[in-house]
Amino acid sequence: MYSIERMARRARLVVTSRRRLGLVLGAVAFAIPFVVDFPDLSEPGHRAMAVFLLAIVFWVTEAIPLFATAALVMFLLIVLISDQALWSLPGGYEAPPFSSIYGALAHPVLMLFLGGFFLANGAARFGLDRSLARVVLRPFGDSPKMILLGVMAVAATFSMFMSNTATTATLVAVILPVIASLEPGDRLRVALALAIPIAANIGGIGTPVGTPPNAIALAALTDAGFEIGFLRWMAMAVPLAALLVIGAWLLLVRAFPPSCASVSIRIDAEFDRSPAAWVFYATFAATVALWLTEPLHGIPATIVGFVPVVVLLGTGVFKARDLQAIQWHILWLVAGGLALGLGVTSTGLDRWLIGLVGWDALPGWLIVALLALVATAMSTVISNSAAANLLMPIGLTLAMSDAVAVDPIRVGFMIAIGASLAMALPISTPPNAIAYSTGTVSTGDMLRTGLVIGVVGLVMFLGVGPVLWRLLGVS
């Protein structure tokens, strides 16, 4: 007990020291553009750089919570570069209205994501996730390898429409009794614990509401004038994600061969048949159906995403306590990234940064690959949402510049995909942290498996993706 308490205390000291260091480094980074004159960068660009550097340091070190940094970014942009700046701005600079920075909190894509949160929370409240898992896993029998595939299929599918964190927490709770029943030396224990976060991370790639980087990419592309619908995103992501899940399953089976001959999963869950549950089931089905048939009816996915919000609140299925349980901090984080992108582009900081590198000497495919690789590397050690927030404005501005010939939609898409393929460490994603907390998975197992799947995934999306997208007519 003493050693556990000592380890916990030491961990708290490490976190506190890192945060203190982050605060100091953030203050220094923020001050640099005010004391150093960067040639060819405007005064507003210097101010935007100060905010950009501060955001990098704070999001990397988590000196303050990620969503708090997002709020700070919005406030600093308003007082430094907006039309309500507290310090005078040079003539000829078209300052963005401060309302546009606040407006990031009500961006249409955030409403799409909000609808996804309502569906995810409702699924957990009415036990829809556990009930569906019981039904879907039944056909996979009791073969260890098939059970592993079934668990991964359920995790990946659920994560397309639910939070991958909620999906992982639900399925880990289901699988823990199975893991406990296996012999201590049976490597299937590790395979089952790793399979859930891996499949959940991959599955989140599949839809715009699957993971925050997808929402960040969609919002940035929309603001830049490039529309990508719900079904088009799925057409680009789901086939490759499904192949990657199968590849990950084969890797886990080979790396962690089971010793037992059969496995039995018992899920005590029944479909809730209360009137409120039926309202939720109908709302869930209608929302997903409208998302999938967007080309037929023409209603934007962002409007459809608001349907469950209105219906579930209006019918009283969701009360005030349910509204409070929504992951508002994620929406604030995404909004902060959108505001940062506005500040970076409106001041010309993005063009100045791009001008520092001779991008025209690089082929387009290599630029896309480098951006996706950087997104994966950053997301391995910091929040994937923070990584996407920092990379998206620079990547899209580069794609729209005359220096390179790259499709902006592909750039935004691949930055989001790259951020979601970071799953090598317990800190990389919340699903990884949940799996690691079971005590079944070592850091080494997660590192080796996550690196292989991340690299294979990047190669697949970068190499096979363009060919498949041309065949499907969605490139």
Tens of pLDDT, residue by residue over 248-302, are 999 999 999 988 877 777 777 678 899 999 999 999 999 999 998 988 898 999 9
pLDDT the model gives residue 10: 54
Query: 212-223 vs 384-400: helix axis angle to the nearest 10?
Result: 30
Instruction: Kindly state the helix (H) or strand (E) to which residue 202 belongs, with its residue range.
Output: helix 188-203
- Residue 211 gets which letter from DSSP? S
| Mean pLDDT of all residues in 306-316 | 95
3-state secondary structure of 468: helix
Give the pLDDT confidence score for residue 13 in this predicted structure. Answer: 56
DSSP letter, residue 171: H
Cα dihedral sign, 53-59-60-61: positive
- Identify whether 366 is part of a domain: no
DSSP letter string over 353-394? HHTTS-GGGS-HHHHHHHHHHHHHHHHHHS-HHHHHHHHHHH
Give percent of the chain above pLDDT 90: 52
Mean pLDDT value of segment 21-40: 94
- 26, pLDDT greater than 50: yes
The pLDDT confidence band at residue 4, using thresholds 50, 70 and 90, is very low
Instruction: Look at residue 282 and tell me if it is in a domain.
Output: no
Q: What is the mean pLDDT of residues 336-341?
A: 91
Is residue 214 situated within a structural domain? no
Mean pLDDT value of segment 416-425: 91
In which region does residue 127 sit, left (phi positive, over 0), alpha (psi from -120 to 50) or beta (all else)? left
Q: Which helix (H) or strand (E) holds 328?
A: helix 328-346
Domains contained in the chain, number: 1
Q: In this predicted structure, what is the pLDDT of residue 14?
A: 52
Whether the pLDDT of residue 17 is over 80: the answer is no
Helical H runs in 62-107?
66-81, 98-102
Examine the pLDDT at 473 and tell me if it is beyond 90: no
Give the residue-averaged pLDDT of 102-107: 92
Residue 2 pLDDT grade (very low, low, confident, very high; cuts 50, 70, 90): very low
Cα–Cα distance, 163 to 273 (Å, whole number): 24
| CA–CA dist 24, 72 (Å, integer) | 16
Surface-to-core class of residue 154, CB atoms within 10 Å of its CB (0-12 exposed, 13-18 middle, 19+ buried)? buried
Q: Is 6's pLDDT higher than 60?
A: no
Instruction: Please report the pLDDT score of residue 1 as a whole number.
Output: 41
Give me the long-range contacts of 457-462 (CB less than 8 A, separation at least 24).
Answer: 457/202, 457/244, 457/417, 457/421, 458/369, 458/372, 458/373, 458/376, 458/417, 458/418, 458/421, 460/240, 460/243, 460/244, 460/247, 461/240, 461/372, 461/414, 461/417, 462/365, 462/368, 462/369, 462/372, 462/414
- Between vectors from CA 334 to CA 94 and to CA 219, what angle results, nearest 5°? 65
Q: Is residue 146 part of a domain?
A: no
- The one-character DSSP state at 139 is G
Question: What pLDDT sits at residue 9?
Answer: 58
Q: Per-residue pLDDT for 82 more than 90?
A: yes
Range 297-329 burial, b when 16+ CB lie within 10 A, else e: eeeebbebbbbbbebbeeeebbeeeeeeebbee
Dist. CA 138–CA 147, nearest whole Å: 9
State the pLDDT confidence band at 48, using cuts at 50, 70 and 90.
very high
Find the mean pLDDT for residues 349-375: 88
Note whether residue 177 is domain-resident: no
Most confident listed range (239-243, 263-267, 406-410) = 239-243
Segment 157-203, tens digit of pLDDT: 999 988 788 888 888 888 888 888 888 888 899 999 999 999 999 99
Q: Is residue 319 part of a domain?
A: no
DSSP string computed for 409-423: HHHHHHHHHHHHT--
Task: Say how many residues make up the chain.
Answer: 475
Calculate the average pLDDT of the chain: 88
Cβ neighbours of 211 (radius 10 Å)? 31
**Highest mean pLDDT range out of 124-133, 246-255, 381-390?**
246-255
How far is residue 265's CA from residue 182's CA, in Å, rounded to a whole number? 12
Does some domain include residue 25?
A: yes
Give the mean pLDDT of 453-468: 93
- pLDDT band per the 50, 70, 90 thresholds, residue 54: very high
Q: Answer yes or no: is 345 within a domain.
A: no
Cα dihedral 117, 120, 121, 125 in deg (nearest 10): 170
3-state secondary structure of 344: helix
CA distance 159 to 168: 9
Range of the domain at 78: 1-103
Neighbours of 183 (CB within 10 A): 10
